[in-house]
Amino acid sequence: MKRLLFAAVTATLAAGAAAQQPAQPNPRDAVPDKMPFDLPYGSPISLDRAQAAINAAVAESKKNGWRMAVSIVDNHGFPIYFERMDDTQTASIDIAVDKAKAAAMFRRPTKAFEDGIAKGRTALLGLRGATPIEGGLPIMVGGKVVGGVGVSGANADQDAAAAMAGLKMIQQ
């Protein structure tokens, strides 16, 4: 009987304390003033530039001893050029292509999806084509999205480093 009474008193006190706490605003309820990632599409990346980007990403990978698959897509996610290094894991082929497509089509790095999910935005998992793994970057030229680069084969941060090497080649 004492235990029941103690439990009831404890529950009543906890409920009263919770009722006294002001509700914290949910940061996801904020509406931005302007649309994020509102970047225009430009003319698609050329084959020559796509090959140069992949060569730079592969060189970065070789320098670090990584085996990677690298994909370049146009401004709407369609393949332009792809390369898989010897002995790269088979799964990395599709992952690299998916990262490149997501970066181009959603006009943002794939890490943005990964970060959003880590912050509790699990609804992002329902976006068709959104690959929530670092290693996909939109290719920007003159402030416009002209394609996407995606790399897979190592850890996500290593994939991103190789993708960045390819992106830097294009932006020279």
Domain total of the chain: 1
The whole domain housing 129 covers 47-170
Averaged pLDDT for residues 125-134: 94
Separation between Cα atoms, residue 95 and residue 131, nearest integer Å: 8
Q: What is the pTM of this model?
A: 0.79
Residue 14 has pLDDT above 60, yes or no: no
Question: Do 164 and 61 form a contact (C-beta atoms < 8 A)?
Answer: no
Residue 62 lies in a domain: yes
* Residue 26 binned pLDDT confidence (cut-offs 50, 70, 90): low
Residue 15 lies in a domain: no
